[in-house]
Each structure stands twice: as C-alpha cells, then as structure tokens.
C-alpha cells in the first residue's frame, strides 16, 4: 500500500473547503519522503487577516504566484490513483483540493470511493476520550466509582487543574477551548466564517451568508430546528442579519 500513499497538507484563505481557496499545497511521497510538489498560489481572492495570523501567508507573499489552475493538471495526476494521507483532511484538505481541481476544469477526486488515511480520525477512534482514561492519564490513578454521578463530578475539578498544569492553561483557556472555533449554535447548523460573517452550515446554502437568504432563515424560524439555532437566527434578524 505504502508505494501509493502521498502525504498532503495545505494552507488556505479560510476554513470553508468549498468556498475558500488554497494558498499553499505540499504533496510528499510517503515511501521515500520525496517532495512531489510544494507550491504557493495566488488564491484569486483576498486572504483574510485571521487566516494570515494562522499560517503567516499574506496577500503580498502570493501577489506574483500562479493561480491553482496553472498547476491543476499536475496535482490531478499526482493524486489520481494515490492513497491520500492527511490530518483532519477528510472533511477539509481533500474536499478543498477536489473543489479547486474541478474549478480548474479537471476531473477532481472520487470523494465517495477513494482510499484515504486521516490521522486525526485514526487518533480519535483509537484512543478513547472517556473520563476514566483522562483520570488515569492526568491524575495517575484509576477512577474508582466511574459512571456514578457524584464520583464523576468530584473527579472533574482535580482533572481540570491537572490539565491546566499539563498544557500551561489559564482559567479562561478552559472556557475558550471548550467552544469550537466558529461556533454559533451547538447543532452546527450555522457557523462563523473567518471574517466573522455567519453562514449556513448545511443544505443547499451551505457556506453562504445568512443575510443573503433571509427567506430561508425566515422559513427556519417556522420549522422544527433546535432552540439555540432558532435563537441565533432571531438574534441575527434583530441585528440586521449581522452578528454583532
């Protein structure tokens, strides 16, 4: 298998794999570590400051770079029959590369049938995140009375303190890291794009601003969606369809 595996990673203008654009792409052959491609691209749109803050690539850095389409045929050939390996790539890198390839007139990737290795998912499915295992790892002892509400609750405070020490976290970090980036509602029907605008995160309007589809938002208000999703929609409506 390993002779077909290529490690893939990219940096982009944002977190939406369908709407954002690639600004850097690396493809490395796993068998021998040969760098098949490492290229910066002009994305054709402005790179938002929050994205630059993450990967350090500014508009000036790519001002004279080729667009992705110039190299799309090479990328298509490299990935056509390969096994892609990435980190959290199944719902991000791979989908974004497919979108860029198709946008450039290439065949794209077989998202339904391709073989892929996503090491983030391998990790989360291989190493359980139960409270018992967290106590063992961070407190160094077995969690006696697991699945008893009182015992579980009493374990949480020392566990929080141990996590703070392990990762040098302040109190506010515990709260900040508990909320997923871009979260608007817990059911994830909505999300904040890198620029702060609230967009739909499902259905035919996925990735588009709520303010551009007020009729759809109004329909949601009359439908059976989770309460916090409806509260967010009402909040947007009351503030001119913009997130304050």
Instruction: Give the model confidence (pLDDT) of 3-58 as tens digits.
Output: 889 999 999 999 888 889 999 999 999 988 999 999 999 999 999 998 898 899 99
**Residues in Cβ contact with 58 at an 8 Å cutoff, skipping those fewer than 6 apart:** 47, 52
Residue spans per domain, the chain:
2-122, 133-176, 190-238
Structure confidence at residue 143 (pLDDT): 86
The pLDDT value given to residue 188? 86
- pLDDT digit string (tens) for 11-21? 999 988 888 99
- Which pTM was predicted? 0.67
β-strands 5-12, 22-29 pairing: antiparallel
Torsions phi, psi of 70, nearest 5? Answer: -65, -30
Half-sphere exposure of 200 (CA within 13 A, CB side): 15
Residue in the structure block whose two tokens are 């096994």: 83
DSSP conformation class of 209: B
pLDDT confidence of residue 147: 67
Residue 220: the pLDDT is: 94
Which pLDDT belongs to residue 1?
63
Residue 16 has a pLDDT of: 85
Token pair listed for 30: 């796993």
Q: With beta carbons less than 8 A apart as the criterion, state whether 109 and 102 touch.
A: no
Residue 130: the pLDDT is 87
Q: What is the mean pLDDT of each run of 10 residues along the chain (244 residues)?
A: 88 88 94 92 94 92 97 96 91 92 95 87 81 90 79 86 93 86 87 89 89 94 90 93 82
| Amino acid 84: pLDDT | 92
Homologous superfamily of domain range 2-122: Ribonuclease H-like superfamily/Ribonuclease H (3.30.420.10)
């Amino acid at each position: 298998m390993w002779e077909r595996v290529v490690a893939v990673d990219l940096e982009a203008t944002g977190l939406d794999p369908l709407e954002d654009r690639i600004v850097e792409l690396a493809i490395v052959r796993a068998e021998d570590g040969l760098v098949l491609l490492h290229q910066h691209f002009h994305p054709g749109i402005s790179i938002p400051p929050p994205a630059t803050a993450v990967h350090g690539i500014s508009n000036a850095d790519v001002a004279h770079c080729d667009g992705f389409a110039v190299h799309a045929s090479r990328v298509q050939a490299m990935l056509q029959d390969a096994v892609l390996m990435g980190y959290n790539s199944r719902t991000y890198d791979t989908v974004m590369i497919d979108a860029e390839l198709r946008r450039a007139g290439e065949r794209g990737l077989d998202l339904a049938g391709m073989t892929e290795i996503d090491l983030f998912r391998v990790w989360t499915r291989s190493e359980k995140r139960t409270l018992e295992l967290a106590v063992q790892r961070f407190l160094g002892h077995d969690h006696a009375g697991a699945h008893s509400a009182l015992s579980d609750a009493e374990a949480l405070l020392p566990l929080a303190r141990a996590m703070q020490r392990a990762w040098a976290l302040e109190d506010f970090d515990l709260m900040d890291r508990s909320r997923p980036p871009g979260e608007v509602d817990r059911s994830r029907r909505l999300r904040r794009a890198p620029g702060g605008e609230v967009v739909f995160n499902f259905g035919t309007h996925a990735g588009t601003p709520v303010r551009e589809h007020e009729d759809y938002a109004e329909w949601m208000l009359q439908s059976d969606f989770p309460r916090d999703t409806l509260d967010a929609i009402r909040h947007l409506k009351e503030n001119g369809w913009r997130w304050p």
